A and B are shown apart, each in its own frame.
Chain A
Amino acid sequence: EAQVTQNPRYLITVTGKKLTVTCSQNMNHEYMSWYRQDPGLGLRQIYYSMNVEVTDKGDVPEGYKVSRKEKRNFPLILESPSPNQTSLYFCASSPWSSGANVLTFGAGSRLTVL
């Protein structure tokens, strides 16, 4: 089944404790992206990647890191989480080309930072 898989789905952590949210897709998509969703703010992009070793900042990159060493994986790293990073996070991928490039979203990861 074609899908984007995120882990963990739920996580409660404490301020300053480094964590990684993994994202993997099995569709050979070039483009991958991370979004956070907060009430009243919609989806805001954190980082995106057009292909392996190519990443760029989105609208709200502060406090986050990413890497794209393999085409299928795009982990989101919070080096020192803070309470304002409590949010619902979505990873998404698409076959970025001249076509429609519809995003396929993961199920989401709900993160709480105490």
Chain B
Amino acid sequence: ELKVEQNPLFLSMQEGKNYTIYCNYSTTSDRLYWYRQDPGKSLESLFVLLSNGAVKQEGRLMASLDTKARLSTLHITAAVHDLSATYFCAVNYGGSQGNLIFGKGTKLSVKP
């Protein structure tokens, strides 16, 4: 059974600081996704990571994937209040006939 664990589950940051959210998963997977959920809203796709060593960046967010370690990181650089949201990683298993398992999410609060 695939398990996906995110750490931390809650993160309070000051504006301008850097931090990393970790996503560990328990079995082999060929795809990892990061989604963002604003309070009271739906989920939106941030990144898709398809291979070992993949790195994607958009604005102050950078995601990376290490399939050997079964670990993905979401790095936040110089946080701003607009990044306050819940971030979910999700892992595919079973190839094209497989499915997605979500982590429990990391609730990020960026304070002035």
Contact = CB atoms under 8 A, between A and B. Distances in A.
A41 B104 CA distance: 6
B99 A90 contact: no
A92 B102 CA distance: 13
Contact of B104 (A40, A92, A103): A40
Interface of B: 31, 33, 35, 41-45, 48, 50, 88, 90, 92, 96-97, 99-105
Interface in A94-112: 96-98, 100-108
Contact of A106 (B31, B33, B42, B97): B42
Interface residues of A, number: 26
B88 A103 contact: no
A58 B31 CA distance: 19
B35 to A, nearest CB: 8
Contacts of A104: 45
Given A102-B45, A102-B48, A45 B99 contact: yes
11 contacts: A42-B102, A45-B100, A50-B97, A58-B99, A96-B96, A97-B96, A100-B31, A101-B92, A103-B33, A105-B42, A105-B44
Interface in A55-89: 58-59
B111 to A, nearest CB: 22
B23 to A, nearest CB: 12
Given A100-B48, A101-B31, A42 B96 contact: no
Contacts of B88: 42-43
A43 B33 CA distance: 14
Contacts of B90: 103
Nearest to A6: B42
A37 to B, nearest CB: 9
B102 A43 contact: yes
A8 to B, nearest CB: 15
A34 interface: no
